[in-house]
């Protein structure tokens, strides 16, 4: 992107900067509190990856149109306030992730001279931490035994069913590396893409449909409201329990495995139950109370912005429905890609 293009884009709307920043903050808040549910309804995998990627785009936009990188911190706080209001049952890790994203954006965009490089670094760092977050939580909860059990299970199944012997490969770490690498590749892509946002905005501005007809539109499938599932009833928990049962059975059927394998898996499950109990009953309520007090003190300061942003959400949902309807002529990955890109720019450029 040429510097003149970026300057023209900024100067063309100088009087509207505060409104534009509020709109981008609203989109970030919508992404954090509502878009995840939409992706879930569409059964799109790796939703966390998409939400983190969206955060990179919104932070990059805030940096592009703001006069001071402190605006990123202000927007981050507003997003957290709205997330706490709209999705009060979000885990503390989700608020920590948003906070980290905002702080990284503030540090990387402290100068706009290197906008593209800052966007790239933001993409890589945010997606790297997003990938590592799941790994760290699972390791804290289950210990290294989880990855060792995964390695044992894959090796034994490979030997007994496929007759494949690769004792030197640690499959648990291979899976961790693949998962994190997938996030890094996504971070590289979204970071490069974020650096091109001024050009993309100019293009979509010229091709933007000023009228969005949402009447009789094909709504996105609604997610049925269900009771919040406990950790062990979620997909990750079911996977861990199934893996544990599989390893215990293999330890009794395979003479190559030591008797201590089954015991270590049982200890892993007991450990996870104890940690979960301590976190849910003792630590989380205390931390959440402190966090809520912090938010309440600042909510009145941004109450006007809070109400204005919340009022935008119904319109955002209509635009998303419109984009989903008009992506129906595409299938699979092409439809998802078209839907996400058009949703992003239509939401950004709508009046």
| Long-range CB contacts (within 8 A, 24+) of 267-276 | 267/145, 268/142, 268/143, 268/145, 268/146, 268/149, 268/244, 269/142, 269/241, 269/244, 271/142, 271/143, 272/141, 272/142, 272/240, 275/140, 275/141, 276/141, 276/231
pLDDT value for 212: 47
Q: Where are the domains of the chain?
A: 17-349
Distance CA 196, CA 119 (A): 9
- pLDDT tens-digit map of 153-172: 888 877 766 666 677 788 88
Cβ neighbours of residue 38 closer than 8 Å, sequence gap 6 or more: 220, 320
Tell me what pLDDT residue 116 has: 92
CA-CA distances (angstroms) from residue 262 to 139, 156, 251, 257?
A: 18, 14, 6, 9
Q: What is the pLDDT of residue 1?
A: 41
> What confidence tens digit (pLDDT) does each residue in 111-155 have?
878 899 999 999 999 999 999 988 998 888 888 888 888 888 888
Q: What's the whole-model pTM score?
A: 0.80
To the nearest 10 degrees (0 to 180), the angle between helices 17-30 and 70-86 is: 40
pLDDT band at 252 (very low <50, low <70, confident <90, very high): confident
């Amino acid at each position: 992107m040429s510097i003149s293009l970026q300057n023209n884009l900024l100067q063309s709307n100088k009087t509207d900067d505060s409104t534009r920043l509020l709109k981008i903050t609203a989109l970030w808040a919508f992404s954090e509190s509502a878009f995840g549910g939409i992706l879930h309804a569409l059964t799109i995998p790796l939703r966390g990856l998409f939400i983190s990627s969206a955060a990179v785009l919104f932070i990059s936009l805030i940096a592009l149109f703001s006069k001071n990188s402190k605006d990123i911190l202000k927007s981050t706080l507003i997003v957290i306030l709205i997330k706490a209001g709209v999705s009060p049952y979000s885990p503390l890790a989700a608020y920590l992730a948003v906070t980290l994203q905002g702080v990284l954006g503030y540090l990387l965009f402290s100068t706009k001279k290197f906008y593209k490089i800052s966007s790239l670094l933001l993409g890589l760092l945010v997606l790297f931490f997003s990938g590592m977050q799941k790994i760290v939580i699972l390791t804290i909860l289950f210990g290294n035994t989880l990855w060792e059990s995964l390695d044992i299970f894959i090796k034994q199944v490979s030997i007994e069913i496929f007759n494949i012997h690769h004792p030197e490969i640690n499959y648990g770490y291979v899976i961790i590396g693949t998962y994190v690498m997938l996030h890094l590749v996504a971070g590289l892509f979204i970071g490069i893409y974020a650096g091109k946002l001024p050009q993309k905005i100019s293009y979509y501005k010229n091709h933007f449909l000023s009228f969005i007809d949402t009447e009789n539109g094909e709504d996105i499938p609604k997610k049925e409201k269900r009771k919040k599932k406990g950790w062990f009833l979620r997909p990750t928990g079911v996977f861990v329990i199934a893996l544990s049962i599989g390893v215990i059975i293999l330890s009794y059927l395979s003479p190559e495995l030591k008797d201590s394998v089954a015991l270590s898996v049982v200890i892993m499950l007991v450990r996870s139950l104890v940690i979960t109990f301590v976190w849910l009953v003792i630590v989380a309520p205390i931390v959440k109370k402190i966090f809520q007090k912090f938010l309440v003190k600042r909510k009145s300061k941004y109450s006007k912005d809070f109400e204005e942003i919340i009022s935008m959400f119904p319109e955002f949902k209509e635009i998303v429905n419109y984009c989903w309807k008009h992506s129906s002529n595409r299938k699979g990955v092409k439809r998802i890609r078209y839907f996400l890109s058009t949703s992003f720019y239509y939401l950004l450029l709508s009046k």
